[in-house]
Amino acid sequence: MQYAKQSQVTRPGKAVVEAKANFSGLLAEVEAGEEIAVTRHGKVIARMVPDHRRVAADAFRDFWADADEFDLVAPEDKPAEDVASLDD
């Protein structure tokens, strides 16, 4: 298994033992905002990416981009209610 930062060209890299030994370092890079591609035989098999909290509005942002075409007012007999976060 090898790994490479997304901004770098994937190169022959670390064996599984080396990647495991440097896992804490990889996590620190991800926490700093880096995206790391994990590869096996030069093929990306996974990505380590920073966790960004999402709310429902983020999930539907593209859909609602054309909101001026919709009537978004809740009916008086069914007022809008708060929704739970997707992260809970």
What is the predicted pLDDT for the residue at 67?
A: 63
The number of residues making up the chain comes to: 88
Query: In the chain, where are the structural domains located?
Result: 1-73
Q: What is the mean predicted confidence (pLDDT) over 60-87?
A: 72
Residue 83 makes CB contacts below 8 A (sequence gap 6+) with 56
**For residue range 4-23, what is the model confidence (pLDDT) as tens digits?**
554 444 334 455 656 677 89
**For residue range 49-69, what is the model confidence (pLDDT) as tens digits?**
888 776 777 777 777 777 666
What is the predicted pLDDT for the residue at 11?
A: 37
- Name the phi and psi angles at 40, rounded to 5: -135, 125
How much is the pTM? 0.46
Cβ(83)–Cβ(56) under 8 Å? Answer: yes
Q: How far apart are CA 23 and CA 5, in angstroms?
A: 14
